[in-house]
Amino acid sequence: MLAQDSVRFAHSLEFDEQAPLIGPDKHLYFSLAFHPRNTGGAGDPGDSWFAPERGDSFGEPEPIEALSTPDFDLLIGFLHPDTVLVYHQNLYNRQVIYRYFRTDGGWTRGDEQFVPGFRSTGNHFSARLSADGSLMLLAMESFGSYGNEDLYVAFRQGDSWSRPQNLGASVNTFRQELSPFLSADGQTLYFSSNAYEGRKSLGVYQSERIGEGWTQWSAPRPVDLPEMEGFDLYYYEDPNRDRYFLTNTRTSDGYGNILWVESAPPLVLQQAEERRTEGPTDSGGPSDTLLPRPVSPSEIPSPQRSPGPDIALQLEDLQPGESLVLKNLLFNRTSDDIEDAASLDALEKVAAFLKRNSKRVISVEGHTDNRGSSRLNERLSLDRARKVRDVLVEAGAGFEQIRVNGWGGTKPIATNSTAAGREKNRRVEIILLE
């Protein structure tokens, strides 16, 4: 395990830094969320920024307004030193990828890139060009995904792209595969996933391409990165020197810092056991590193968990003023997306209770741990409470029966000094009001 003191921080910004990329000019480009200088202000989920190279480090970062919108924007890569591809989550009310050209006056928007069938239906999207610009790797939940976000490849065809192709069950699972990066020789795939048991619930994995196609890969193996708490995303190797970058997040809402390590590429851990997780594990805790074997789509298991107490009976016993923690309700990390069928089943029982008791009124209360930005924690908790209300109403409950509140990390029920305590604090409660 590499020591933490080998790590350098690219910046000290108190904002969400994602997707590091070294441009042909050797400057550091990245996506920055929730900065007051973003196009959409402090609520903007991601603008394109850059930090100029300064010898062995980087200068003060600046936003690139011409490449940014009030919604999420991601610089995918450089087709040419003066040509970039940028993804816009909501430009002209559409998800689009545009080509931009650099001139003496700055960046100018060019043509939309036609990618047939391109649509991200989940909460996360990331993409990266290959070193030669011939293909684009995408991470998204879309048509043909095995579960949540999967990895796809699209090939450049002149001024357009091929339909995104799923990379297959060797690397994609029913959980999340995120932030892909392809080595310069096109043979090694790096990505982040929460599908495997190991030291981290979301870590960086490596897989080798088998043959000339794009659906056969070696079993993913965890990459030996510096020991740090939190999640690791956006692994990226500098094309100009012997170092690599990544984003490390240490909060319940995914707040990240860009780091780099001046060394050869990290080792890949060899000792492993064939097992995929049925749920997230604690981040930072010691455990065996596990390697899955390749599986076909028909072999991919559905998430399982213990049924726990009967929610229907608990609701019937609830008295006004009392609360009930929805222990079987899980969300995808850093989002308000409900994770699985078991979570929806729990909410259907709540909706059935409200339909049977049309005069009952509940408050749905969202909570997080206390790590990271209190403002963003409060927003995430409120968004999750609102999502629960939406699901309950869709299942037949009355809108007037449901109130919502988001408390962030201000009302813990356990210590925040341990992973187990923080997990208990990240919860949704129902309070019976009348």
Least confident among 46-55, 277-286, 289-298, 302-311: 289-298
Give me the domain span that covers residue 291. Answer: 4-298
User: At which of 248, 265, 298 does a domain end?
Assistant: 298
Q: Establish if 303 belongs to a structural domain.
A: no
Same domain, 280 and 359: no
Q: How much is the pLDDT for 368? A: 85
Element (H, E) at 323: strand 323-325
> If we measure between CA atoms, which residue out of 82, 84, 61, 83 comes closest to residue 74?
84
Residue 144: φ, ψ to 5°: 90, 5
Residue length of the chain: 434
What would the mean pLDDT of 388-417 be, rounded to a whole number?
85
Tell me whether residue 406 is in a domain. yes
- Report the percentage of the chain scoring pLDDT > 70: 85
60 phi/psi in degrees, rounded to 5: -65, 130
The pLDDT score that the predictor gives to residue 172 is 93
pLDDT of the residue at 159: 79
- Answer whether residue 273 shows pLDDT above 80: no
263 and 224 share a domain?
yes
Mean pLDDT of 158-186: 92
Q: Is 29 helix (H, G, I), strand (E, B) or coil?
A: strand
Whether 88 and 36 share a structural domain: yes
Q: What is the mean pLDDT of residues 335-360?
A: 83
- Of residues 131 and 263, the one with the higher pLDDT is 131
203 and 321 inside one domain: no
From 263, 298, 333, give the residue that closes a domain.
298
pLDDT tens per residue, range 233-245: 999 999 888 889 9
Q: What is the mean pLDDT of residues 201-215?
A: 92
**Residue 75 covered by a domain:** yes
Q: What residues does 222 pair with on adjacent strands?
A: 205
Sequence-distant (6+) residues with CB within 8 A of 104 are none
Compute and round to an integer the Cα radius of gyration of the chain: 22
Tell me what percent of the residues of the chain surpass a pLDDT of 90. 40
Domain co-membership, 205 together with 83? yes
Which of 277, 298, 319 lies at the terminal end of a domain, its last residue? 298
Binned at pLDDT 50, 70 and 90, residue 24 comes out as very high
Same domain, 324 and 294: no
Half-sphere exposure of residue 400, counting CA atoms within 13 Å on the CB side? 3
Same domain, 161 and 281: yes
Point out the least confidently predicted range of 33-42, 226-235, 369-378, 402-411. 369-378
3-state SS of 138-165? EEECCCCCCCCCEEEEEEEECCEECCCE
The answer as to whether 305 is a domain residue is: no
Torsion, Cα 337 340 341 344, to 10 degrees, reads -30
| Residue 333: pLDDT band with limits 50, 70, 90 | low
Average model confidence (pLDDT) across the chain: 82
Helices (H), ranges, 260-329: 311-317
| Same domain, yes or no: 155 and 264 | yes
The answer to whether residues 90 and 211 belong to one domain is: yes
Tell me how far apart the alpha carbons of residues 159 and 210 are, in angstroms, rounded to a whole number: 29
What is the average per-residue pLDDT within 213-224? 93
The verdict on 284 and 338 lying in the same domain is no
CATH number at residue 396: 3.30.1330.60
Pairwise pLDDT comparison (263 vs 140), residue with the higher score: 140
Which of 256, 204, 194, 233 has its CA nearest to residue 45?
A: 256
Number of domains in the chain: 2
The stretches of 277-340 forming alpha helices (DSSP H) are: 311-317
Say if residues 338 and 326 touch (Cβ distance below 8 Å).
no
Measured distance CA(408)–CA(378) in Å, rounded = 4
Task: Give the other-Cβ count within 10 Å of 293's Cβ.
Answer: 10
Q: Taking residues 332-347, report their average pLDDT.
A: 77
List beta partners, residue 428.
366
Order of all β-strands in the sheet with 427-432: 323-325, 427-432, 362-367, 402-406
pLDDT tens digits for 126-161?
Answer: 999 999 999 999 999 987 788 789 999 999 998 789
Domain harbouring 26, CATH code: 2.115.10.20
- pLDDT over 50 (residue 300): no
Confidence of residue 279 (pLDDT cuts 50, 70, 90): very low
246 in a structural domain: yes
Per-residue confidence (pLDDT) for residue 334, from 0 to 100: 67
Mean pLDDT of all residues in 106-115: 94
Domain assignment present for residue 63? The answer is: yes
Using alpha carbons, list the distances in angstroms from residue 9 to 12, 256, 341, 347. Answer: 7, 11, 39, 42
pTM over 0.75: no
Q: Is residue 184 part of a domain?
A: yes
Residue 304 lies in a domain: no
142 and 285 both lie in a single domain: yes
**C-beta separation of 37 from 63 below 8 A:** yes
| Residue that wins the pLDDT comparison between 163 and 362 | 163
Do residue 369 and residue 419 come from a single domain?
yes
